[in-house]
Structure 1
Amino acid sequence: MILLKRTLQFFIICVILGLLTLAGLYYYVRSDIPSVQVLKDVQLQTPMQVFSRDGLLINQFGEKRRIPVTIEQIPAPLIEAILATEDSRFYEHIGIDPIGIVRSAIVLISTGEKKQGASTITMQLARNFFLTREKAYIRKVKEIFIALHIENILSKNEILELYLNKIELGNRAFGIGAAAQVYYGKALHELTLAQMAMIAGLPKAPSALNPIRNPERAKARRNVVLGRMLSENYITRSEYQQATSAPITARFHGAEIDLYAPYISEMVRAEMVARFGHEKAYNAGLNVFTSVESDVQKAAQTAVIDNLHAYDMRHGFRGATAQLWDPELAAPLSRADILSKLDSVKQFGPLLAGVVTNVAEQSIDVLLKNGNQVTVEWDGLKWARKYITRYRQGFAPTTANDILTAGAQIWLRKNNDDDYILSQIPEASSALVSLDPHDGRIKAIVGGYSFEQSQYNRAVQAKRQVGSNIKPFVYSAALENGYTLASILNDAPINQWDKSQGVAWRPKNSPAIYNGPIRIRRALAQSKNVISVRLLRGVGLQRTADHLLKFGFQNNDINRSESLALGSAAITPLELARGMSAFANGGHLITPYFISEIQDAAGNTLYKANPERACDVRSELTKQLKLANTLTNNNSMIADTTMPTEANCAPQIISKQNAFLISQAMHSAIWGGGSWAHKTGWSGTGWRAQTLERRDLSGKTGTTNDSVDTWFSGYNRNVMTSVWVGFDNPGNPLGRSTYNKNLDSSQISGAESGAKTAQPAWIDFMKVALQGKPNAPIEPPEGLVSARIDLKTGLLSHNNDHTSRFEYFVKGTAPTRYVLEQSDNIFEQTEQKTEDELF
């Protein structure tokens, strides 16, 4: 009895001492224990995702890969695998597992080593959020107290959901959702039992047990997990045997990108870091919806890539990138050796690295980097005459041996028929920008051939001379200063002596064809250089430069010399597209944008674009006033000077009449004029766009001296697109190509130019961008009149035949005299007083 009493007293004392010790430990570490209330509103570090306007994933940026999932989205076998391995009594304990703690203590006492941590899932969650992985007693004490707190404020399912979304699982994957994507490229519900067990085994040692780096150790760990599941009766013996015999299928998978558009995604990344800072941009789970349309963006990228290859091919084949063996002197390499050589070759765009293993008369066999053996037929080879210079190409080949030998390391790509074609990395560069001219929304943007090859975004960073793409702006200045589309100027050579340089400036047409007296409409459509210079002189250099600045160009980019009329100004493709949009939208200067909406991780909108639009304030107010006057029987109208300005309207920089008239002249650049039946027909420089069979398009070519920079810009009312092609090193000419007898008559040859070099990409792109869309011509605004004029003189005409046409004029600017039919001398019939005034 006394012994029992003393034992009871000892037990009570031990309990009291234990409680006091526990209380003392709690007060000792209390100040270091964080508030776990934050777990109620936890913000997991989630990467920023970038989407197209129609919701396709373009890219994601973040230091941690994480795909948050709810407990309901997690398959039961995966939860069972985690519980069986990490915490089999998770749903029974209070946050700590006394049995596990006792077991760990026994191991520590018997071995002196901390081999078992006795951490529950709740304790691991506490450590992952608030503590380090340091093996220290005081950390374990803090872990216990935090775990108890967590159990008080969260349910078991909430704890498990947080844990499964938080844990590190290797390869920058955090949480089981990301792990399923990184290792298997699947969603959770698509995983097999073996794959679930593999993921469940990773929390113990994400690096050491990684199935990509250490497949054998990972397999052993996976089988341990499956054994635990079998012991807990989560799976049957047959399921266990089938899963343990499954091969290791894990390999690295990047993010599931739906739309590969690296240039726009990099623009978004830079903008988001600038707005929110690095930490929030990368880890706050922001969702950014861009302005680009997925199908249009794909078309832009394809058009740029295909056009660069087309340019590259017509200038000749530059030869193999390497010769791995001499077919005359050495035995060929083995398949394994070839693949080993190719393994280090970085591939760009659509190009596939390969080595020629056999050369037949008109075909070659190629071993590709991916291990496929393919045959390239003659249709994929016959283009490859030798490149000599950018101006010269060799003879067209007749056999495959004229082009390549066995052992040549080459590039292939697939054509539209899915056949292989010999290729090479293009030396030239390109950019494309397409806008909605009404509000500046960027529909598509491409900054180069390959982002992996060069991250330089030529669409927004490359300021290049625009050549004749400047002329619509110069002609716009002329229309603002008394000229009309029917005005006659002399298309004749100019010679101007420069006293300071001691040389004569002789701007020439390209090609050097001169038509004499010519109407302004035709001069712009046929890109007459000397007429552009004469107009600049007629308006004045400073006045013309000031007019160009209205279109959003930078003052430093608009040089004050007469070469401005020929396009010596350096402008980016985006700046040019913005300026050109004014002709499509009625004269407004819009502001391009590429981010439509930003959402936080919970789907709340943080930002929504509200761009200024090209809107006719007066027209809308006039409609409202007419309605009000009708209702009140008041026929009086408020004076124009009292009209307010609508807050969200883009500024009007030129009149809508001016914008329409320039669009009319640019429409003629595509569709020409005159009568071919009466041998007076003529083509504009953009006539190739007629293949689109749309009468709603206006466009303008642009080519600088020696074809260094080539451009094409064109639009209808809803789509404005500019394309540039040139070399990254300014000053390098694009050269010329001769006719290749191995190819059909549709090939491009001769000197490179805006029409031949840049316009094909514009046509290919617009074919997709406008597909299924109704015609959207630029409609004539009020304030214009239409009058029939004589094509030779620009004067009014009574004739209703091929010698005349209807022309648009701003009210008060139409000719008042009729052509004198009995005279062919236009100088006697025009209203100008002197020859100096005419020219």
Structure 2
Amino acid sequence: MFKRWWAFPTLILFSIGLFAAILIFLAAILIYPNLPSLEALTDYRPKIPLRIYTEDDVLIGEFGEERRVFAKIDKVPEIMKQAILAAEDDRFYQHGGVDYQGVARAALSNLTSGGAREGASTITMQVARNFFLSREKTLSRKFSEVMLALKIEHNLSKDQILELYINQIYLGQRAYGFATAAQVYFGKPLEKLNVAETSMLAGLPKAPSRYNPVVNPKRAKLRQQYVLRRMHDLHYIDDKQYEEAMAFALAVRKDMPAYEINADYVSEMVRQMMYEKYKEAAYTSGFKVYTTLRKSDQDAAQHAVIKGVLDYDRRHGYRGPEAFIQLQSDENGLEEFLEEALQDMAGSNGIIPAVVLTSSAKLVKAYVKGGEIVEISGDRLSFAQRFLDAKSQQKNKIQRGSLVRVVKDSKGFWQITQLPQVEAAFVSMNPQDGAIRSLVGGFDFERNKYNHVMQAMRQPGSSFKPFIYSAALEKGFTAATIINDAPIVIDPADTGGKLWEPKNYEGDYSGPLRFRTALTKSKNLVSIRILQAIGIPYTLDYITRFGLDASKQPPYLTMALGAGSVTPFQMASAYSVFANGGYRVPPYYVTRILDARGNVLALAKPTLAGQDAQQAIDPRNAFIMTTIMQDVVKRGTAARAMQLGRQDLAGKTGTTNDQVDAWFTGYQPGNLVAIAWVGFDQPRTLGGRETGAQAALPMWIDYMGKVLKGVPESVMNVPEGVVVAKINPQTGLREMDGGDGIAEYFYQENLPGESGSGMGDMQGGVKPSDEVRDQLF
């Protein structure tokens, strides 16, 4: 009787199961042959972004919608695999693509909980869905997913499937694959992650947005703890590892993207170049571009620019709070309100926005973007002190609700500062082959993407004078030629407009000066007289030997004071001619381009000084000009650079009218050229005494002090055809035998006569006409 009672229901259930099995079988027969080809899996070509590196293999930038680093399965640490299996599919290596035990378990769990709380998708099914299917929740899509999973298992090994999953899965923050996520969230490669970090990443596939540790740290922590319990239950980790991982304080990076060095301007230059060549494929094909930058040089240049700009900004005083935010008196909800108020306020090179909570002349308490409340007191208030005094007449005093900027000093203490308004640029290169070693196009790329190194056409001021003096050497002048530093009035026809009464920067006059001394002291009136003597057409033609554009220079005597236009990049190239012995070497910043498989697509072929480079100027000219510009550093307008304790540095300061542009253009002969510039985007005076020596030279010193540390001083060989003779410093003429004079270099054919040999010889080798003699004297 009992058996008969169960017979009918059992028969019904069996019939239903058999019917379902027949339907599944028939569907499989019909669907399986029409499933998509697995070529996307067997010939896996993930979208890998464009990546840009320094010469010494340091990543400086990447561009692409998907941030992805491909990791081969044998390079993935075992603990990472175990964390993924614990979180997603612990029976991965036992089932055949569909985990029937998992399906039954999930069905039972969902039935007892009264809803769809647990899924049964295997890693193989997720691979099928990620590569071929949508995420719509329909029965037909789920069935296709199952069929695809079976097909994938039939054609690929388990390790191949897991490798696809590890590299294809989306994990938030534009990161695809676990290798990328390790860098994005923790700034580490996979092999350096600990148990706590791997479990955090392994928890992301379930819902990357919900469990993102940057956006939702509390939810992410709960998910991580679940994964750790699963790893412990499956005996992937022992009790001690479990306890340590549960207690470990995760340090999740929130400043993405971040790279080991800051070279955003160069990254953008490369991106534009690659897009022009490969269009959209540049962002998905996994190209690797290696630049000529060196990490140590770029770090030094970046530091020099930031420090130089901030030092200038502090010299010119605090301008007051940026804005005022009306704060509620109730402390409840204040933090949330402040975070929302600061949401769109970006930081810049460590300068962070903050809202003042309380203020007095001795103490400021402020809420810093990100949640920290800081206290600033003592000397760290000195920069903004006049805006804190209760009796201050400043309309925008620092008070509760004031929006200010704060920065940590070298000792880790906060102080009030401000975002600078001035801009700066720095570029350095190897004069032997043109390789750009560092390039900083501005204070902060995120604030101002205008690349001042490449794009800013600015007046070079006195840093242009060496090209005039170099041209004069080819016209018969020598380093000993005497020229009068005296007042001069220039006719409007020679200036392109109006009567001109030029003056030296200091407003004084030194009378007759040697050629060498005049450049060392940057005497404007001597430079004008030299240009008058050698002629403007000749000079315009001569400067093209340095790669300078003659059309950007005024065809008037104002050219002698650098009234034309150049970029810092052009100046680096031009000064390289002096630095390498007279050769024109085109600059370059990319050494090679590789495809995703490491094949070389393009390789730079630099021009080398002394080999295949064009001889731009006489080697004797480059040598003598270098010795003069070394005097500029040793005892002239750039004498501040002697704090580096080197005898081999050469260069020239540059300051334009009203201190609108400040330059220092210098080099270590044979090895390194570096150019520093400071100015405002909308040209206006830098103020008072802000000359090239004050505003730009310190950046150059900061950079050179770091990159030349431990580098031996360079020794220049005297070129053939250069002779040394003792001269009278007052007349520029050779001393008689046994006379007390100073040594000077000359072209052999321009060796001056001895004292008393005539007016022509008094010019140190130049025998000028009466008209030219009048100009010089």
Shorter-chain TM-score bucket reads 0.7 to 0.9
Contact 2:357–2:367 (CA under 8 A) maintained in structure 1: no
Distance 2:27 2:333 in 1: 71
TM-score relative to the length of structure 2? 0.84
SS for the counterpart of 1:569 is coil
- Matching of residues 431-830 of structure 1 within 5 Å: 431-498=425-492, 503-615=498-610, 617=611, 649-672=612-635, 684-717=636-669, 718-730=671-683, 732-736=684-688, 751-798=689-736, 804-815=741-752, 817-820=753-756
SS for the counterpart of 1:316 is coil
Distance 1:246 1:762 in 2: 44
Distance 1:230 1:773 in 2: 55
CA offset at residue 713 of structure 1?
A: 0.7
Contact 2:476–2:766 (CA under 8 A) maintained in structure 1: no
Partner of 1:644 in structure 2?
none
Partner of 2:177 in structure 1?
175
Q: Using a 3 Å threshold, how does the CA distance of structure 1 residues 800 and 153 change in structure 2: closer, same or farther? A: farther
Contact 1:716–1:778 (CA under 8 A) maintained in structure 2: no
Distance 1:356 1:107 in 2: 53
Contact 2:359–2:365 (CA under 8 A) maintained in structure 1: no
Distance 1:11 1:347 in 2: 64
Q: Using a 3 Å threshold, how does the CA distance of structure 1 residues 223 and 318 change in structure 2: closer, same or farther? A: closer
CA offset at residue 775 of structure 1?
A: 0.7
Amino acid paired to 1:367? A
State the Cα deviation string for residues 55-77 of structure 1 (Å, max 9, x = none): 33323333223333333444445
Distance 1:238 1:526 in 2: 72
Contact 1:299–1:768 (CA under 8 A) maintained in structure 2: yes
Contact 2:733–2:762 (CA under 8 A) maintained in structure 1: no
Amino acid paired to 1:576? M
State the Cα deviation string for residues 468-527 of structure 1 (Å, max 9, x = none): 111111111112222222222222222133269884222222222222322222222222
Amino acid paired to 1:351? I
Distance 2:586 2:131 in 1: 44
Could you say what the CA RMSD is over the residues aligned between the two structures, in angstroms?
A: 4.3
State the Cα deviation string for residues 420-464 of structure 1 (Å, max 9, x = none): 554322222111111111111111111112222211111111110
Distance 1:349 1:150 in 2: 49
Partner of 1:165 in structure 2?
167
Amino acid paired to 1:480? E
Distance 1:468 1:248 in 2: 55
SS for the counterpart of 2:528 is helix
Range with bigger deviation, 179-188 or 826-835: 826-835
Contact 1:709–1:725 (CA under 8 A) maintained in structure 2: yes
SS for the counterpart of 1:710 is strand
- Matching of residues 34-433 of structure 1 within 5 Å: 34=37, 36-97=38-99, 119-135=121-137, 139-140=141-142, 143-144=145-146, 146-188=148-190, 196-213=198-215, 252=254, 254-255=256-257, 257-279=259-281, 281-322=282-323, 336=334, 340=339, 345-354=345-354, 363-367=362-366, 369=368, 371-378=372-379, 380-382=380-382, 406-407=399-400, 409-416=403-410, 421-433=415-427
CA offset at residue 714 of structure 1?
A: 0.9
Partner of 2:11 in structure 1?
none
Contact 2:581–2:619 (CA under 8 A) maintained in structure 1: yes
Range with bigger deviation, 259-268 or 92-101: 92-101
Contact 1:664–1:698 (CA under 8 A) maintained in structure 2: yes
State the Cα deviation string for residues 792-835 of structure 1 (Å, max 9, x = none): 22221126666x222212221111x2113999x96899854636
TM-score relative to the length of structure 1? 0.79
Amino acid paired to 1:306? K
Distance 1:789 1:235 in 2: 85
CA offset at residue 126 of structure 1?
A: 2.7
Distance 1:214 1:417 in 2: 32
Contact 2:664–2:675 (CA under 8 A) maintained in structure 1: yes
Distance 1:13 1:317 in 2: 83
Range with bigger deviation, 45-54 or 544-553: 45-54
Q: Using a 3 Å threshold, how does the CA distance of structure 1 residues 332 and 517 change in structure 2: closer, same or farther? A: farther
Q: Using a 3 Å threshold, how does the CA distance of structure 1 residues 21 and 107 change in structure 2: closer, same or farther? A: farther
Q: Using a 3 Å threshold, how does the CA distance of structure 1 residues 334 and 498 change in structure 2: closer, same or farther? A: farther
Q: Using a 3 Å threshold, how does the CA distance of structure 1 residues 486 and 127 change in structure 2: closer, same or farther? A: same
Distance 2:730 2:240 in 1: 93
Match of 2:31 among 6, 25, 38: 25
SS for the counterpart of 1:464 is coil
State the Cα deviation string for residues 136-158 of structure 1 (Å, max 9, x = none): 56655654554444334432112
Contact 2:733–2:764 (CA under 8 A) maintained in structure 1: no
Range with bigger deviation, 764-773 or 101-110: 101-110
Contact 2:732–2:764 (CA under 8 A) maintained in structure 1: no
Distance 1:193 1:156 in 2: 23
Distance 1:241 1:502 in 2: 82
Q: Using a 3 Å threshold, how does the CA distance of structure 1 residues 158 and 503 change in structure 2: closer, same or farther? A: closer
CA offset at residue 790 of structure 1?
A: 1.8
Contact 2:543–2:550 (CA under 8 A) maintained in structure 1: no
SS for the counterpart of 1:532 is helix
SS for the counterpart of 1:346 is coil
Partner of 1:640 in structure 2?
none
Range with bigger deviation, 771-780 or 253-262: 253-262
Range with bigger deviation, 432-441 or 474-483: 474-483
Distance 2:230 2:21 in 1: 35
Matched residues, percent identical? 39
Q: Using a 3 Å threshold, how does the CA distance of structure 1 residues 344 and 499 change in structure 2: closer, same or farther? A: closer
CA offset at residue 364 of structure 1?
A: 3.4
Distance 1:690 1:192 in 2: 49
Q: Using a 3 Å threshold, how does the CA distance of structure 1 residues 774 and 334 change in structure 2: closer, same or farther? A: farther
Amino acid paired to 2:434? G
Contact 2:478–2:764 (CA under 8 A) maintained in structure 1: no
State the Cα deviation string for residues 224-247 of structure 1 (Å, max 9, x = none): 656665775656799889978989
Partner of 1:632 in structure 2?
none
CA offset at residue 755 of structure 1?
A: 1.7
CA offset at residue 290 of structure 1?
A: 2.4
CA offset at residue 417 of structure 1?
A: 5.5
Distance 2:26 2:117 in 1: 28
Distance 2:694 2:222 in 1: 63
Contact 2:291–2:589 (CA under 8 A) maintained in structure 1: yes
CA offset at residue 547 of structure 1?
A: 1.0
CA offset at residue 581 of structure 1?
A: 0.7
Partner of 2:773 in structure 1?
837
SS for the counterpart of 2:678 is strand
Point out where structure 2 has 5 or more consecutive residues left out of the alignment.
1-13
Distance 2:249 2:729 in 1: 80
Q: Using a 3 Å threshold, how does the CA distance of structure 1 residues 205 and 822 change in structure 2: closer, same or farther? A: closer
SS for the counterpart of 2:666 is strand
CA offset at residue 721 of structure 1?
A: 1.0
